[in-house]
Structure 1
């Protein structure tokens, strides 16, 4: 499948992979800045964003799509950056074609992802719907954040309920959620139900790696990210206090500073 792709900047390429639900737009927190010194390639994965499909597929198809994309754009070597599901796909690409990728950045991701998300109640869904609608009309409104946002499912995605984080939710998160196909949801659920675990294979990855985690991440725990970092040969691991799964939207400047400093080290 030929994926919708956003290319920005010039220089050494960075392939940026979004999570679930997500799209290339949700990666603007990275591409806005990294494209000033690199060429960023941010595709909409199969079943997401502007790459919709009603045809059932498996997670392996994402890898085929991404390799075809790199071949089509004649990208022989690049850096990989993946957020959540995107990080898992980045690991799979690095295992599949190790000679092609020079560095690996995993954001809120793990080779054996574990969650400690509590059960979802009807009140959670109600507050999420209300806060989401209001936030779409008036992004980052503090009254909405305090009244509904902090009671909604957003409380498991964010620790710092800042106007900036809610502006990202309104501008990028909500649209990405609505554009995610059911086929993509089913493909992910099938993979997770099979018990995804690639820890033993991580020793095959030799390029330098950076693993970033939110201390209070309920979707992919910081402990599972740290476990992944411990199995990688050349890895730096950062865990940000008072943040959750969407920590790049909570503390974007700190995250981007750490990524750029790490890239410049090499």
Structure 2
């Protein structure tokens, strides 16, 4: 299997202390724009497409460790020595792995809808679910946030498990970032993730080695990575604040972006040692 690092496509914005932002599965760097837009005026936001996602094409089959090798090579290429981490879902798992590997370089970790032992409660998927999702996705791509499509197909599709708040603003995020990220996710990336999960990924026993401050965020109706799994991780971390948002699911940063970004900004501002530059 390919193990040599590849040059990841990356979106870099702003100046100041670096924040490496890692997307989930399926995903791409654009999915993190909800955070990068808010934080780039005070931080240097670094949002790569992971191997097998977006514009970072794989060289064949790979294992999850390849993501870490790619990210280490990216940080070296960008001359980043010390940094913050923000990871959403799969990105949060990779953020924990980097913190375990390079604890002296990681200033803090923000985990979003993620866990050291990811567990889900997703109900079985029917053919009708798939059909409604396909129609809802196509129509939403053509007319983002169309209320008729949300009411007719969206609420009957698999989107109902990703978001609780079936609002046009959420569907515009899905149209702008979600669908394209899904279509550009390579099968090799899916296989690498499934293999890791089938092997029973569980890093709870290692979390006492993560000594930096952490912020862990969850949606109370998330069935992809349950809030119980998120809270379990937060309790195992030495210095961690946990926030659970009511009536939200796995894509809660797109459901309540203002509140989530404000909570992240508050957590960062309460810790000036984490490197924010002052407003000019």
TM-score by length of 2: 0.94
**Residues 1:82 and 2:87 aligned together:** yes
**Residues 1:244 and 2:249 aligned together:** yes
5+ residue gaps, structure 2, are: 1-5, 272-280
Q: Partners of 1:114 and 1:89 in 2: how far apart?
A: 16
Alignment counterpart, residue 202 of structure 2, candidates 194, 197, 206: 197
1:184-223 aligned within 5 A? 184-223=189-228
Give deviations 1:48-89, integer Å, cap 9, x for gaps.
000012500000000000011001111000000000000000
1:108–1:212: 8 Å Cα contact kept in structure 2? Answer: yes
1:54–1:183: 8 Å Cα contact kept in structure 2? Answer: no
Alignment counterpart, residue 42 of structure 2, candidates 32, 37, 54: 37
Per the alignment, in what secondary structure is the counterpart of residue 16 of structure 1? strand
Per the alignment, in what secondary structure is the counterpart of residue 19 of structure 2? strand
Alignment counterpart, residue 111 of structure 1, candidates 112, 116, 132: 116
Give deviations 1:26-63, integer Å, cap 9, x for gaps.
10011011101100000000000000125000000000
Deviating above 2 A after TM superposition, structure 1's stretches of 4 or more consecutive aligned residues are none
Alignment counterpart, residue 96 of structure 2, candidates 66, 91, 110: 91
Aligned residue pair count: 266
Q: Partners of 2:209 and 2:257 in 1: how far apart?
A: 31
Q: Partners of 2:147 and 2:42 in 1: how far apart?
A: 35
5+ residue gaps, structure 1, are: none
Q: Partners of 1:130 and 1:61 in 2: how far apart?
A: 35
TM-score by length of 1: 0.99
1:15–1:78: 8 Å Cα contact kept in structure 2? Answer: yes
Question: What's the counterpart of residue 274 of structure 2?
Answer: none
1:1-266 aligned within 5 A? 1-266=6-271
Per the alignment, in what secondary structure is the counterpart of residue 223 of structure 2? coil
